[in-house]
Amino acid sequence: MARNPVQFQKGISLNEFLSLYATEDQCFDALYQWRWPNGFLCPHCGHDQCCQLSSRKLQQCNRCHRQTSITAGTIFDSTKLPLTVWFQAIYLITQDKKGVSAMKLHRHLGISYNAAWRMRHKLMQVMMERDRPFPLTGRVELDDACLGGERSGGKRGRGAPGKTPFVAAVETNGKGRPLRMKLTVVEGFRTTGIAVWAQHHLGAGTRVVSDGLVCFHGVTAAGCAHEKVVVGSGRASVQRPEFRWVNTIPGNIKSALCGTCHAIRPKYAQRYLSEFEHRFNRRFDLPDIIPRLVYVALRTPPMPERLLKLNLA
């Protein structure tokens, strides 16, 4: 049986990672190259000439004389952790298919749990903001799903207390293989809400295939074609070839989250889903996922703890 080339592709080994980012100087040089690929540009006046203060590794603009650190104005802003620790966290988060918990980062990196939690949520915020602007196109499988288990004696199914509803959408190619996906927390499964979701996350002309849930007809408001396949209930309904990937992926997500995290608070659910989405959409090139994530992190505004803890809904 032929091996899946994506699953068995060569990633970046621990030894290769350490050869690139083992020291503060190596991490600093990498950040400098990714933040200013065309040379220094002052964030205050736009001048392109500077001198570097070697003792503190600050760039001082030759025109306005303002000093700028390599992390100022980015997601790394005001960090007290070494750059090597940040790079190690990025390696662990991006190279593990199921991700790592804040507790695992705390133990592996030798930092406090609170610092590990902030670090992980900042990186998940970067992932969330990065994938948000790119809509799915072509053929898209669409389904409803929920995070959270059944409570004893409580209501089952949609609308049950303690569950976080989200929309799962998978873009497939002409051979029926998955390319990209979108996982979006929603307030509920209503036609108006799905119409708004489709306007943000689906390109015009997209062919959407869904089950018989009435609310999914709302995608037509965004100029999408809607193909409804009524599947009924039971085990056979989740084995239909029309929904192979959109039925497989939510199950993988739930297994990954249950195996990685002790618990997920509903107000942070979107970040956890976006983390899984980000890795999945970039699974074709594992070695490149680290520089791509850091490049975006350097262009993401600072996120202090008070903002990290706001409700994302």
Higher pLDDT, 159 or 285: 285
Comparing CA positions, the residue from 233, 236, 235, 279 lying closest to residue 256 is 279
The answer on pLDDT for 64 being more than 60 is yes
Give the whole-angstrom CA distance, residue 170 versus residue 137.
10
Neighbours of 59 (CB within 10 A): 21
Q: If pLDDT is split at 50, 70 and 90, which confidence band does 162 have?
A: confident
Comparing CA positions, the residue from 196, 223, 192, 198 lying closest to residue 142 is 198
Q: CA torsion sign, 297 to 300 to 306 to 312?
A: negative
Strand order across the 225-228 sheet: 178-185, 164-172, 139-147, 207-210, 225-228
User: Between the CA atoms of 254, 255, 256 and 258, what dihedral angle is there, to the nearest 10 degrees?
Assistant: 80
Average pLDDT (65-80) is 94
Exposed e or buried b for every residue in 233-242, given b needs 16+ CB within 10 A? eeeeebeeeb
- Give me the domains of the chain, ranges plus CATH numbers: 14-131+288-308 (no CATH), 139-271 (3.30.420.10)
DSSP state of 176: S
- 273 within 8 A of 103, measured Cβ to Cβ: no
Q: If pLDDT is split at 50, 70 and 90, which confidence band does 158 have?
A: low
pLDDT for 267-303, tens place per residue?
999 999 999 999 999 998 888 999 999 999 999 999 9
End-to-end, the C-alpha distance of the chain in Å comes to: 45
- Give the percent of the chain with pLDDT over 90: 69
pLDDT for 187-219, tens place per residue?
999 999 999 999 999 999 999 999 888 999 999
- 264 within 8 A of 124, measured Cβ to Cβ: no
Give the whole-angstrom CA distance, residue 51 versus residue 35.
16
The pTM score is 0.90
DSSP state of 182: E
